[in-house]
Amino acid sequence: MTSTLKAYAIRLFPQVAALVVILLMVSFAFPDFFRLEMQNGRLYGSLIDILNRGAPVALLAIGMTVVIATKGIDLSVGAVMAICGAVAAACITSGYGLVGTLLVTLGTGILCGLWNGVLVAVLDIQPIIATLVLMVAGRGIAQLITEGAILTFNDPGLIFIGSGSLLGLPMPVVIWLVFGLVVSLVVRRTALGMLIEALGVNRRASMLSGVSTGVLLIAAYVLCGLCAAIAGIIAAADIRGADANNAGLWLELDAILAVVVGGNSLLGGRFSIAASLLGALIIQSVNTGILLSGFPPEFNLIIKAAIIVLILVIQSPRAQSAFVFLSRSQGAAPAKTEEEAK
Amino acid sequence: MNPRYFPLAATIAIFIVAYAVCIGQYPNMLSTRVIGNLLTDNAFLGIAAVGMTFVILSGGIDLSIGAVIAFTGVFLAVLLEKTSIHPLVAFALALAITTAFGALMGAIIHHLEMPPFIVTLAGMFLARGMAFVLSIDSIPIKHPFYATLKGIYYKLPGGGRITFIGGLMLVVFAAGILIAHRTRFGANVYALGGGAPTARLMGVPIGRTTILIYALSGFLAGLSGIVFSLYTSAGYSLATVGVELDAIAAVVIGGTLLTGGSGFVAGTLVGILIQGLIQTYITFDGSLSSWWTKILIGLLLFAFILLQKGLIHLTDRRRRHA
């Protein structure tokens, strides 16, 4: 057990360190950054704000991690968020009740994921292209549902999901923490996670060794659709309306970025959902930090680009072989003694 | 018929049928005015799509072009507002920057061996961010030279006009077709799209070709930005969001295989015209909402992906039997 914990610590160290450094840097520019206040049974403060604002990207990152682990990618999550937000608003305004609305909306997300999954697994289309179809058409479909307007609603139950609080934490934070934990446990406490990694490394080999790759692939995209649906509900509940044009706009790119910042390879294989969630928090900390420290928000995108390039350089096969080469030529002898000591 | 030509033939057939249906409903759509506007309105998209065709033919993807177009527009507007240099010099500067930017992305893709998708995503953030840093306002361009360029047109019989930018798009397409099919670089692009290891064994300079492809895409995105600034007479950092998707859609509808190695630059022109036709039809109809454009393009995209899958399946079977 301690060895797994140690493995976790080593795996998550770069992300945690990056997050801490960013938070410290922001706190230099904005001294009140770490202050938390309890008001009306809910915590307030910049840290809570980061957790809360980062909820949609964190949720999307959970599904995106699994899809990327299968060597795929899902470009449609932003559009699916818009569709699901529109469906939720349309259902609640036409009197389906809260439970019915949530069921229909989550079902819509699953259906979108199923569509992507079937295109990828059954029709064998490249994931980028397969999900591009829904990305292009999705916003049109969402507009069709809202009939071009911004559908507003004032159902207290649905609004609670966006701005209510549970145990002192805002509802979106509770949702993504719980959902992330559940998905992590499901993939890590069963063989599912390993099978997904096998599928991502070599689909044909894992199929030949008896893994039902088709079902697994479809399930990954369905999970991604489900995450997008939850994120869509939160985004709609937050503004008390469904905005088909702007809900989830470009969030697919942020979600992919979160997964990459989390140190997961875009080429599939080993994955860590916790690392992706940390990645999402890093992105949100950068966003919030830039706003708080008084930089013009225009620099946001440039900093994001710099982060991507930095990670690309670190992750690139050439840099890694250079690392291996350096560590071998310099630390060959100590590494050996360490092994002997064990 | 060679199965290589099926997707192109299908695209052209769809365009002709769709145009015939449109004319059947609104006879006015036959006029040369509509055709002239079709070219002018889609000029910037078409020029960027030529670059995208080369990138996709080589098996890559370029997500940065929309941001590069916006950056070029803002760059030109700021330069013409703050300094007194001639627009032609500003054009040359803008093209040099965007070409170097594309070449840099190509170099990163080749030397760091990273997927083009994520590298050009970083490029997209960077270009959009630079545009924001230059200015977050929409800046009008009032230079008299712009008015001169906008005044140039060739009058078609029937009152239609091929404007300067519409004509420029046709020239770029002609040049693209020549480069793709009549130069060594074009052959290298097709070879690279067929598979990098095979191309290397054939003696294709992979690194140089990759860098040139993305430099070309950057150059054409810059040119498209110039055309867009002529079209709107302004520079705005939030303009042309998502143009890369329209360009990719046009390339795929034009019959180019998204895995690379097969397709035609000419097909992309038809793909652009189909998208423009859908928009024109919606304008003529007046009651349909513009979001139908997105849904129809999505459906067309899906249909063409299926068609390509079917064709690959067919040729595979034929090869196995042969």
Find chain B residues with C-beta within 8 A of A296's C-beta: 133
CA closest to A115 among chain B residues: B302
Work out the minimum CA distance from B61 to partner chain A, whole angstroms: 10
| pLDDT level of residue A339 (50, 70, 90 thresholds) | very low
Out of A73, A136, A300, the one facing B301 most closely (by C-beta) is A136
| Candidate from B111, B248, B294 with C-beta closest to A140 | B294
Beta-carbon neighbour count of residue A262 at 10 Å?
28
Measure the CA–CA gap between A157 and A206, rounded to whole angstroms.
Answer: 45
Cβ distance A302 to B129 less than 8 Å, yes or no, reads yes
Q: Stretch A241-262: mean pLDDT, rounded?
A: 81
B 244-273 near A (Cβ less than 8 A): 245, 248-249, 252, 258-259
Is A120 in contact with A222 (CB distance < 8 Å)?
no
Tell if the CB–CB gap between A308 and B125 is shorter than 8 Å. Answer: yes
Could you tell me the two tokens for B205?
């300079």
Reported as type and span, the H/E element at residue B90 is helix B87-111
3-state SS track over B116-147: HHHHHHHHHHHHHHHHHHHCCCCEECCCHHHH
Tokens of B203: 């003696």
What is the C-alpha to C-alpha distance for residues B105 and B118, in angstroms, rounded to an integer?
10
pLDDT tens, residue order, chain B (322 aa): 677 787 788 888 888 988 898 888 888 888 888 888 888 889 999 999 999 999 999 988 898 999 999 999 999 999 988 888 888 899 999 999 999 999 999 999 898 888 888 888 889 888 988 898 888 888 888 888 888 888 888 887 777 788 888 889 999 999 999 999 899 999 999 999 888 888 888 888 999 999 999 999 999 999 999 999 989 888 888 888 778 888 988 998 888 887 778 888 999 999 999 888 888 888 887 777 777 777 888 888 888 778 777 777 777 676 666 5
Q: How far apart are CA A329 and CA A321, in angstroms?
A: 12
- Does residue B322 belong to any structural domain of this protein? no
Nearest to A119 by CA among B305, B117, B247: B305
Q: Helix, strand, coil % (nearest 5) of chain B? A: 75, 5, 20
Q: Does B117 contact A at CB distance below 8 Å?
A: yes
Q: Is position B12 within any domain?
A: yes
Name the residue facing A316 among B61, B112, B293 (closest C-beta). B112
Ramachandran area for residue A124 (φ above 0: left; ψ -120 to 50: alpha; else beta): left
Q: Which residue has the tokens 């250079």?
A: A322
**How far, in whole angstroms, is CA A289 from its chain's centroid?**
20
* Dist. CA A195–CA B252, nearest whole Å: 33
| Nearest one of A219, A218, A198 to A209, comparing CA atoms | A198
pLDDT band of residue A1 (cuts 50, 70, 90) is: low
Report the C-alpha gap between A26 and A69 in whole angstroms.
32
Distance CA B116, CA B126 (A): 15
- Helix (H/G/I), strand (E/B), else coil: B202: coil
Residue A265: both structure tokens together: 């390879």
CA B300 to chain centre: 17
Which of A73, A134, A318 is opposite residue B113, by nearest beta carbon?
A318
B20: CATH: 1.10.3470
Q: What residues of chain A lie within 8 A of the CB of B133, using their CB?
A: 296, 298-299, 302
Beta strand residue intervals within chain B, DSSP E: 139-140, 153-155, 161-163, 234-235
Look at A298 and B119 and tell me if their CB atoms are within 8 Å. no
Answer yes or no: do A298 and B292 touch at CB < 8 A: no
With beta carbons under 8 A apart, name residues in chain A contacting B258: 126, 128-129
CA dist list (Å): A256 to A263, A309, B117, B119: 11, 14, 11, 12
pLDDT mean over A193-218 = 85
Is the pLDDT confidence value at A188 over 90? no
Q: Are B71 and B236 in contact (CB under 8 A)?
A: no
Mean pLDDT of A241-269: 80
Which is more confidently placed, A342 or B232? Answer: B232
Residue type, B290: S
Tell me which residue in B114, B289, B295 faces A316 most closely, judged by beta carbons: B114
- Tokens representing residue B208 in the block: 């140089």
Please tell me the predicted confidence (pLDDT) of residue B69: 94
Longest Cα pair distance anywhere in chain B, in angstroms?
Answer: 68
Contact residues, chain B, for A316 at CB < 8 Å: 112-114
Residue type, A21: V
Cα distance from B178 to chain A (closest Cα, Å)?
28
Q: Which residues of chain A lie closer than 8 angstroms to B61, CB-CB?
A: 128
Q: What is d(CA A290, CA A297) in angstroms, rounded to the nearest whole number? A: 6
For the cut 70, the answer to whether the pLDDT of residue A332 exceeds it is no
Quote ipTM for the complex: 0.74
B104 interface with A at CB cutoff 8 Å:
no
Residue A338: pLDDT above 70? no
Which chain A residue has the Cα nearest residue B302? A133
- Residue A197 half-sphere exposure toward CB, CA atoms < 13 A: 14
Question: Chain B partners of A139 at a C-beta cutoff of 8 Å?
Answer: 291, 294
CB contact under 8 A, A128 and B291: no
Is B313's Cβ below 8 Å from some Cβ in A?
Answer: no
Question: What is the widest separation between alpha-carbon atoms in chain A?
Answer: 72
C-beta atoms of B129 and A299 within 8 A: yes
- From B127's Cα to the closest Cα of chain A, the distance in A is 8
The predicted model gives A300-317 an average pLDDT of 75
Instruction: Measure A299 CA to nearest chain B CA, in Å.
Output: 6
- Judge whether B122 and B104 are in contact, CB under 8 Å: no
* Closest B-chain CA to A129: B258
Can you tell me the distance from the alpha carbon of A83 to that of A86, in angstroms, rounded to the nearest whole number?
5
Closest to A131 (Cα-Cα) out of A115, A148, A147: A115
The span from the CA of B266 to the CA of B11, in Å, is 10
User: What part of B 179-238 touches A (C-beta under 8 Å)?
Assistant: none
pLDDT at A341: 42
Look-up: residue for tokens 């490394």? A201
Q: Where are the beta strands (DSSP E) in A169-214?
A: 169-170
* Touching A: B residues 270-309, CB under 8 Å: 289, 291-295, 297-299, 301-302, 305-306, 309
- Tell me, what's the pLDDT at A329? 65
Of B95, B67, B57, B125, the residue nearest B243 (C-alpha): B67
Rounded to 10 deg, the angle between the A55-69 and A77-93 helix axes is: 130
Contact yes or no for A128 and B117 at CB 8 A: yes
How far is residue A175's CA from residue B215's CA, in Å, rounded to a whole number? 45
Q: How many CB atoms lie within 10 A of CB A338?
A: 10
| C-alpha to C-alpha distance for A226 and A59, rounded to whole angstroms | 9
CA distance A167 to B157: 74
The pLDDT value recorded for residue B214 is: 95
Instruction: For residue A299, give both structure tokens.
Output: 């620099």
Q: Which residues of A touch B292 (CB under 8 A)?
A: 140
Contact between chains at A260 and B289 (C-beta distance less than 8 A): no
Strands A165-166 and A169-170: antiparallel
Residue A195 has what pLDDT? 85
Q: List the single residue in A129, A143, A308 with the smallest CB-CB distance to B289.
A: A143
Q: State the pLDDT at residue A333.
A: 45
Whole-Å CA distances, B63 to B55, B78, B223: 10, 24, 16
**Structural domain total, chain B:** 1
Closest Cα partner for B57 from B216, B190, B243? B190
Preferred mutation among B112, B119, B137 to probe A, highest tally of A CBs within 10 A: B112
**Do B259 and A313 make contact, defined as CB atoms within 8 angstroms?**
no
Q: Radius of gyration of chain B from Cα atoms?
A: 20
Partner-chain residue, chosen from B112, B129, B297, that has the shortest CB–CB distance to A312: B112
Alpha-carbon dihedral angle through residues B279, B280, B284, B286, given to the nearest 10 degrees: 20
Tokens of A65: 């991690």
Q: Which domain holds residue B275?
A: 3-317
The predicted model scores a pTM of 0.83
Nearest CA in chain B to A305: B122
Q: Rounded to a whole number, what is the distance in Å from the CA of B21 to chain A's nearest CA?
A: 23
Which residue type sits at B282? I
DSSP, collapsed to helix, strand or coil, labels residue B63 as: coil
Residue B262 and residue B265: Cα distance in Å, rounded? 10
